[in-house]
Structure 1
Amino acid sequence: MKIAEVSVTRPVFAIMMTAALIVLGAVSYESLGLDLMPKTDAPVVSVQANLPGASAEEIETTITKRIEEAVNTISGIDELRANSDQGGSRVTINFTLERDIESATQDVRDKLAQIVNQFPRDTRPLQITKMDPDAQPIFGFAVFGPRAPKELTEIAEKRVKQELETVKDVGSIGYNGERKREIQLLLNADRLNAYGLTVDQVRNAVTRQNVEIPGGQFTAGPADVAVRTMGRIRNVDDFNRIVLSYRADGSVITFADVGRVQDSVQEVRNASRLSGTPAINVMVRKQSGTNTVEVVDRVQEKLTRIQAQLPQDIQISVGNDQSRFIRRSFEDIKLHLILGGLLASIVVFLFIRNLRVTFIAALAIPTSIVGTFTFMKIAGFTLNNMTMLALSLATGIVIDDAIVVLENIFRYVEEKGVTPKEAAADATQEIGLAVMATTFSLVVIFVPVAFMTGQIGRYFYSFGLTSAAAILISMFVSFTLTPALCAMWLKKEDAKSDHSTTKTSGFYATIDSLYGRMLVWALHHRPVMIAIAGAVVVSAAFLYPYVGKELVPDDDQGEFSINVRLPRGTSYQRTEEFIKPIEKEVLALPALHRVMQNVGSGFASFNVMMVPLEERNVSQQELMIRARQMLRKYQGARISVSGGTDISGAASGGFGGGGRGNPGGGGGGGFNRLNILIQGPDIEQLQTYTVQLMDKVRLIPGVVDVDTNFEPTQPELRINIDRARATATISSRCCSGSTSHTGTRQRWATC
């Protein structure tokens, strides 16, 4: 084998090649991303369409069905789901795994661009997005202090949010519980009638007279002068001077004649609290494909500087931090990787009992592992649970080739009496084919894992290739570094009979004797051994159904969420009344660090953060079970307790949580482990079957948080138009509907 011969005759060359491998690996390690799980681009595209005020039936007929018909002709669709709701439609398109997500998204945009004119006039622009695990908040904190809600909101937005938006790789920042400034235009219905004006006329007048229009430019001597019409309202009093109409005598009717202006804040429709204290909850999302841990580090560094510049009574308290669990998971696996390498080296020493020889063999472990980081960098992998698992598994494998080569070199020195340098090249060449056969037999086990089909194959792709790369690098090390070091460092005395490589040494002799007696007994009792082997195989077939099966086991992340959904149409005030006792009981749970709470109309979410694992005697799963038992007595709401992180690495709880979308159930794993789809033409019959099915599923042992995304429509007041009278008053159904919509809104013009 030429490479082994060159390594023995030119050991410096072999050492420098290995050193280059280690240096490249170390540099690659520093630049590798750190994540919980490998990144995968799930081929899922969602289409969101909003038509404020429309019923679910109208949304279904005028929007949802048209979207379905348009996109259904796109190739590669695996599943198409649609949800029509009060005021909005959501269509989710699942493509086959082979479909490129970018081209699929573009195909959806192209198809919908052809039918956008068929939607109702007031339909908002379509929102077409592809599924992105990075869209989940990675970091959350609360801003609180003894200030008015409006002032606290301004501090959170202008002095915190805007500063954080400048941090590298931060994607977007959202917040809950804000109370922004609002200019309210309050109309007097009697005065409107007296002047013969409608709400629409007032609204149109405000819209027309609150604009800035570019007027072009002209040349004045040596300069070009831009012209701009200054029509934007600059202060609150300007609203009173808006001209609505003219009287018969030519005098103007202004807004002050029919109403008044009030500089106020938004009506309370949502709130956020930190362990019961009013706060502004801020959520940070990263840019797609960036390193979660690095982004969080930059955000925390920036927050430290921001906190120093804020008033002393304003505090920032960190809540949700996805990087904490990623760091802990990575550090645990890294520790196991190091311990595995040390234990493998100790086992080698127990049999060889020579530090110099043990060092030569054990050097293959760090060299192969560190060298694999270079491959991971080239392949675009990150340091995550799957790649670190591959390296941990490879720790005990990568030393095998070096041991086989080293043992054969020892045999040459011991049996043939040649020098270690002569033995290194000849022994390696003799055993080279066997080492290659062993290595490639392992590689062909791991490589197919990387090419498994389905979504699971996406996650095992990096695992299989990383394992194969580490094993191949170990073969390279055993053919270069191992014989080179043997030629340089081994002594003839290392292979003498008084060392543990001989069968006469105490430790080895004991092991050899025990194994020999077992082998002799087995050969003399062949039927018994065959019967034992058969019994093991048969028992495995019977025991297999009783073994738990899951891809990602539940882990104690020290964080879970409680989501509460009330019937559609429940007011914010009623929601607050309902969750008050729940909030009190949640805050009384043991081992809590803090609770971030968001409340809105008909929903509430509690993001529960526990104290560090080493400071508590109750696990996350135990506390979640206790919370479920505690919340069973609350009737009239859908309550789910979820925790953990799904396989994509997206936090289940969602720091801001609490929307009225998908149920947040999912038990201990933090995501829906089983979804049942019920289809049929009659919505009322579907509802009946759904309730019956949910009641039966709840009886299954181990099932928790059974929920459905079906909700009754929101209570509505229906206004029937008298067409004759509407025509007589020079009105129309459209105008009347618009007037009722404007008149029932709590605010209809803001600046």
Structure 2
Amino acid sequence: YAMRVWLDPLALAQYKLTPADVTGAIQQQNTQVAVGEIGNSPTTKGQQLRVTVTAQTQLKTVSEFENIRLVSTEDGSTVRLKDVARVELGLESYGSSSTYNGHPAGGFGVQLASGANAITTAQNVHAALDALKGTLPDGVEIAYSYETTPFVELSIEKVVETLIEAIVLVFVVLLIFLQNWRATLIPMIAVPVVMLGTFGVLAIAGYSINTLTMFAMVLAIGLLVDDAIVVVENVERIMADEGLSPREATEKSMGQITGALIGIAAVLTAVFIPMAFFSGSVGVIYRQFSVTIASAMILSVMVAVVLTPALCVLLLRKHKQTESRFPPFRWFNKGFGAATGGYVGAVGYIVRRPLRFLVVFAALIGGAYWAYTQLPTSFIPEEDQGVLMTIITLPDGAN
């Protein structure tokens, strides 16, 4: 803050004063003066202290500034600062000001350091300011006009909800297609095991739970159950076709599909791993996503090779392939059988006319490329954070 002096031009002219006269008087009468020293030379024997004494000559209040003497007139009266100016305590600079909900405010911003965690930083700032509330004058409150962390927390919350929904949907789809709660339970057990291992990899890599890593987990949910489904379905098929026990069927099944499982994981990992080596800001954005989903894929095939066969032996039971007694399953099987027949017929029709459909395939590729070239491009998609920010520029000379 500062002491503001608003000069009255008419009063200055009346007393034949100039702004320079007022400035000089204020500088002369508002000084810090040293009045002497205690313990100055010559000193006495054993003296150990020497102190400079200053007088309280600097002015502090509005009334003290108002009574600054400017000049004495011919009739002996004194012209003081309050006679030619208005004095008030105000801002040091009026180039900028802050208000909050129409009330005067003093604002400052906290900039996140590079590599710092936004949510942790916001929590620490809130804790530090809460500790200062008791020292504030009456009527002064701490308010937060703009924060980015609530949007981050809400985004993570929505991704977690999507993750839960994905797990539920995977369970429903598995139950509909496998129509065996024991067979359905085995792939679902693989989900938390792989997720736990993936979070461990993220902790070792120094990554946090954010929208990118959680989105990768949502995408990985549908991919990681594939390996377990392949194992369970093949074991079920062997038991139904060859009449083997769960243990024998599992041993035979793993001998058939282990190489295929490793190949699937290798292909998927090869797709996502290169993104971890992108440079610049693109690499920062995609690296955590790539590491998360690649880790989930690798752990998925490990679980499918190690844990899933053991669960098949423990949970599956030898049974005959019969029609389901649950009506919704029978309806689904009937509709799925009809869809399968239609698909087989369509594939046969396409195979008998290869050249014609190669032309169609080439046209689809060309159409996809044309659509790609027509779409607008941007670095990252725009996000609606529920905040409207405006900048109003006044014309020159406006108050």
TM-score by length of 1: 0.42
CA contact (8 A) 1:443 1:471 kept: yes
Post-superposition Cα deviations, 1:30-63, rounded to whole Å, max 9, x if no partner, equal xxxxxxxxxxxxxxxxxxxxxxxxxxxxxxxxxx
- Give the 3 Å change call, closer, same or farther, for CA 212–535 of structure 1 in structure 2: farther
Larger relative contact order (Cα-Cα within 8 Å, sequence gap ≥ 6) = 1
Aligned residue among 160, 166, 170 for 1:340: 166
CA apart distance, 1:533: 0.8
- Give the 3 Å change call, closer, same or farther, for CA 225–360 of structure 1 in structure 2: farther
Q: Give the Cα–Cα distance (whole angstroms) in 1 for the partners of residues 323 and 44 of structure 2.
A: 100
Matches of residues 189-208 of structure 1 in structure 2 within 5 Å? none
Aligned residue for 1:561, secondary structure, equals coil
Post-superposition Cα deviations, 1:413-443, rounded to whole Å, max 9, x if no partner, equal 3334332233334422432221111101110
Q: Give the Cα–Cα distance (whole angstroms) in 1 for the partners of residues 268 and 375 of structure 2.
A: 27
What is the aligned partner in structure 2 of residue 397 from structure 1?
Answer: 223
Q: Give the Cα–Cα distance (whole angstroms) in 2 for the partners of residues 292 and 445 of structure 1.
A: 31
Post-superposition Cα deviations, 1:572-605, rounded to whole Å, max 9, x if no partner, equal xx34xxxxxxxxxxxxxxxxxxxxxxxxxxxxxx
What is the aligned partner in structure 2 of residue 469 from structure 1?
Answer: 295
CA contact (8 A) 2:34 2:53 kept: no
CA apart distance, 1:228: 5.5
- Give the 3 Å change call, closer, same or farther, for CA 191–344 of structure 1 in structure 2: same
CA apart distance, 1:314: 5.4
Q: Give the Cα–Cα distance (whole angstroms) in 1 for the partners of residues 211 and 294 of structure 2.
A: 17
Q: Give the Cα–Cα distance (whole angstroms) in 2 for the partners of residues 478 and 219 of structure 1.
A: 93
CA contact (8 A) 1:443 1:468 kept: yes
Aligned residue among 282, 285, 294 for 2:107: 282
Which amino acid in the other structure matches residue 154 of structure 2?
R
CA apart distance, 1:347: 1.8
Aligned residue for 1:477, secondary structure, equals helix
Q: Tell whether 2:90 aligns with 1:265.
A: yes
Which amino acid in the other structure matches residue 545 of structure 1?
T
- Give the 3 Å change call, closer, same or farther, for CA 287–519 of structure 1 in structure 2: closer
Q: Tell whether 2:182 aligns with 1:182.
A: no
Aligned residue for 2:385, secondary structure, equals coil
Q: Give the Cα–Cα distance (whole angstroms) in 2 for the partners of residues 392 and 210 of structure 1.
A: 73
Post-superposition Cα deviations, 1:275-313, rounded to whole Å, max 9, x if no partner, equal 4x2331534416524432344345556767877997886
Which amino acid in the other structure matches residue 395 of structure 1?
I
Q: Tell whether 2:388 aligns with 1:560.
A: yes
CA contact (8 A) 1:364 1:477 kept: yes
- Give the 3 Å change call, closer, same or farther, for CA 551–429 of structure 1 in structure 2: farther
Which amino acid in the other structure matches residue 438 of structure 1?
I
- Superposed CA RMSD in Å reads 4.5
Aligned residue for 2:389, secondary structure, equals strand
- Give the 3 Å change call, closer, same or farther, for CA 219–476 of structure 1 in structure 2: farther
Aligned residue among 271, 293, 312 for 1:486: 312
Q: Give the Cα–Cα distance (whole angstroms) in 1 for the partners of residues 207 and 51 of structure 2.
A: 55
Post-superposition Cα deviations, 1:241-279, rounded to whole Å, max 9, x if no partner, equal x9xxxxxxxxxxxxx9xx99967223644333334x233
Post-superposition Cα deviations, 1:50-90, rounded to whole Å, max 9, x if no partner, equal xxxxxxxxxxxxxxxxxxxxxxxxxxxxxxxxxxxxxxxxx
Which amino acid in the other structure matches residue 473 of structure 1?
L
Matches of residues 57-456 of structure 1 in structure 2 within 5 Å? 180-182=1-3, 209=33, 225=49, 227=51, 230=54, 236=60, 264-266=89-91, 268-275=94-101, 277-285=102-110, 288=113, 289-297=115-123, 299=125, 317-456=143-282
CA apart distance, 1:408: 2.5
Q: Give the Cα–Cα distance (whole angstroms) in 2 for the partners of residues 199 and 308 of structure 1.
A: 40
CA apart distance, 1:327: 1.9
- Give the 3 Å change call, closer, same or farther, for CA 514–211 of structure 1 in structure 2: farther
- Give the 3 Å change call, closer, same or farther, for CA 487–204 of structure 1 in structure 2: farther
- Give the 3 Å change call, closer, same or farther, for CA 472–201 of structure 1 in structure 2: farther
- Give the 3 Å change call, closer, same or farther, for CA 234–426 of structure 1 in structure 2: farther
Which amino acid in the other structure matches residue 239 of structure 2?
V
Q: Which has the higher helix share?
A: 2
Aligned residue among 535, 545, 550 for 2:373: 545
CA apart distance, 1:535: 1.3
Q: Give the Cα–Cα distance (whole angstroms) in 2 for the partners of residues 565 and 236 of structure 1.
A: 37
CA contact (8 A) 1:372 1:466 kept: yes
Which amino acid in the other structure matches residue 513 of structure 1?
G
Q: Give the Cα–Cα distance (whole angstroms) in 1 for the partners of residues 195 and 383 of structure 2.
A: 26
Q: Give the Cα–Cα distance (whole angstroms) in 2 for the partners of residues 454 and 318 of structure 1.
A: 33
Aligned residue for 2:268, secondary structure, equals helix
Aligned residue among 464, 474, 498 for 2:322: 498
- Give the 3 Å change call, closer, same or farther, for CA 320–498 of structure 1 in structure 2: same
What is the aligned partner in structure 1 of residue 344 from structure 2?
Answer: 516
Which amino acid in the other structure matches residue 321 of structure 2?
S
CA apart distance, 1:536: 0.4
Which amino acid in the other structure matches residue 204 of structure 2?
I
CA contact (8 A) 2:65 2:87 kept: no
The structure with the largest alpha-carbon Rg is: 2
Aligned residue for 2:390, secondary structure, equals strand
CA contact (8 A) 2:98 2:107 kept: no
What is the aligned partner in structure 2 of residue 103 from structure 1?
Answer: none
Q: Give the Cα–Cα distance (whole angstroms) in 1 for the partners of residues 56 and 282 of structure 2.
A: 56
- Give the 3 Å change call, closer, same or farther, for CA 402–207 of structure 1 in structure 2: farther
CA contact (8 A) 1:386 1:463 kept: yes
Q: Give the Cα–Cα distance (whole angstroms) in 2 for the partners of residues 198 and 469 of structure 1.
A: 76
Aligned residue among 354, 363, 366 for 1:526: 354
Q: Which has the higher strand share?
A: 1
CA contact (8 A) 1:340 1:395 kept: yes
Q: Give the Cα–Cα distance (whole angstroms) in 1 for the partners of residues 200 and 163 of structure 2.
A: 18
CA apart distance, 1:203: 5.9
CA contact (8 A) 1:286 1:295 kept: no
CA contact (8 A) 1:233 1:239 kept: no
CA apart distance, 1:519: 1.9
Which amino acid in the other structure matches residue 257 of structure 2?
I
What is the aligned partner in structure 2 of residue 65 from structure 1?
Answer: none
TM-score by length of 2: 0.74
- Give the 3 Å change call, closer, same or farther, for CA 523–452 of structure 1 in structure 2: same
CA contact (8 A) 1:368 1:477 kept: yes
Number of corresponding residues: 368
Matches of residues 667-686 of structure 1 in structure 2 within 5 Å? none
- Give the 3 Å change call, closer, same or farther, for CA 349–200 of structure 1 in structure 2: same
Structure 1 residue runs of 5 or longer lacking an equivalent are 1-179, 243-255, 576-751
What is the aligned partner in structure 1 of residue 71 from structure 2?
Answer: none
